[in-house]
Structure 1
């Protein structure tokens, strides 16, 4: 991939990838850092990245893996950040509803990743299967379980109702 192709890739894909990684990790700053790191790695490996064969997928996979790694290391810090943050302070900086991000963060990593790639990155089951190197059936199962869990986590609660 030549420098001009790389520059076009960066400008076209970075905003989308930041949004996708934000949904994964819950912090816009962290998402920006992870995507930047993924593009640095892509630049270092640009001679091996074929511009005609989905270079955005390469960067997204790298960014997601970096995001998961950082998320695992800093889970307690993310929880503390969401507790202290004023919900109105970052409204315009957050591309997704904080309740959705909080619910996504409660899902197992594999389910969260499948949900984000399918619903936010608009990848098909086959594309996700190739990107994550898992069978399509596994992707479908992760999507199904993730959607069911999200439905429960995001269901409106009725205060004072007795069952």
Structure 2
């Protein structure tokens, strides 16, 4: 018969929410409690009820995480009795401080994960910065999300696997491969996988998410995610038989991601760049709006205010007889022409009326 902890436990969904709100992974929480990661996963899913000393420590830790002073108290240790002043709650984190804490916790590992997806060091750093810049633009929404780290990771993965990168001139040529032949073989095997299979494999065997979480992040059903994972493992094992064991594959993925010196930018630089980009696009939108208003006003000033009928097109005059063709002159016409030729150049003499 199991013994339930004396401290009341929240529902399973609330347990996970409290862990994620403090940016703790299941592995970190398990290390702080001295239990396995599978045990923490079973507690958060509701498949097992926390019991014994571990369950009591887990209940106390959840109570600590639910308090505003959770970041100032050691995990798994109850407050000792005794007189003394009540602890003063610290000031709440500003948005800048909360964003910097999330960036410092997630960015280094996220750069290494995106390197496994793309095989490009510079692209891995770039997509992570873009994901965090988007998170800073939507910080009120991201800060209230139950899994801010998962939100940023999903955006970074989507950007990393975008097919439009192949059209960029700087990414048309491959980067130098890893120096270790074993790392080169593993990276080549990963890049040979379809993008959806590669993402599922990295999330499950690289990041350590469970199957339902992997399915949710890849927007697939749990059976579909399991099928992708199985085929991805088989494809990697076909090229590297030593990686048929999932535990060995997990270790090698971690070693491959850690072997490269992938450094993320400073959080202040990411926030500043994102703010500058926001200012630029805001000014561009304002300028475009002003241009539309100006062109509309100019059109209203120069447009006619009344209707002017159009001028009818010219039409040919009808009924005009064609000119007669020149024919031979008669005797009278010949006589008149000869007479006119004999007249003076100033014209005929004045006609004087004769008296009767």
Q: Is the structural similarity TM-score above 0.5?
A: yes
The residue that corresponds to 2:155 in the other structure is 62
* Superposition map of 1:38-53 within 5 A: 38-51=131-144, 53=146
The residue that corresponds to 1:159 in the other structure is none
Question: Among residues 109, 125, 128, which one is paired with 1:32 in the alignment?
Answer: 125
The residue that corresponds to 1:160 in the other structure is none
The residue that corresponds to 2:114 in the other structure is 21
Normalising to structure 2: TM-score of the pair? Answer: 0.38
The residue that corresponds to 1:3 in the other structure is 96
Question: 1:76, 1:148 → 2: CA distance?
Answer: 34
5+ long unaligned stretches in structure 2: 1-93, 243-356
Q: Which moved more, 1:48-57 or 1:31-40?
A: 48-57
Question: 1:136, 1:87 → 2: CA distance?
Answer: 34
Q: Deviations over 1:8-53 (max 9, x none)?
A: 1100100110111000000111101110111001111111113561
Q: Which moved more, 1:38-47 or 1:129-138?
A: 129-138
* Superposition map of 1:71-82 within 5 A: 73=166, 80-82=173-175
**Greater helix proportion:** 1
The residue that corresponds to 1:115 in the other structure is 201
5+ long unaligned stretches in structure 1: 157-163
Structure of higher CA gyration radius: 2
Structure number with greater CO (CA < 8 Å, separation at least 6) is 1
Normalising to structure 1: TM-score of the pair? Answer: 0.80
Aligned CA distance change for structure 1 residues 109 and 86 (closer, same or farther; 3 Å): closer
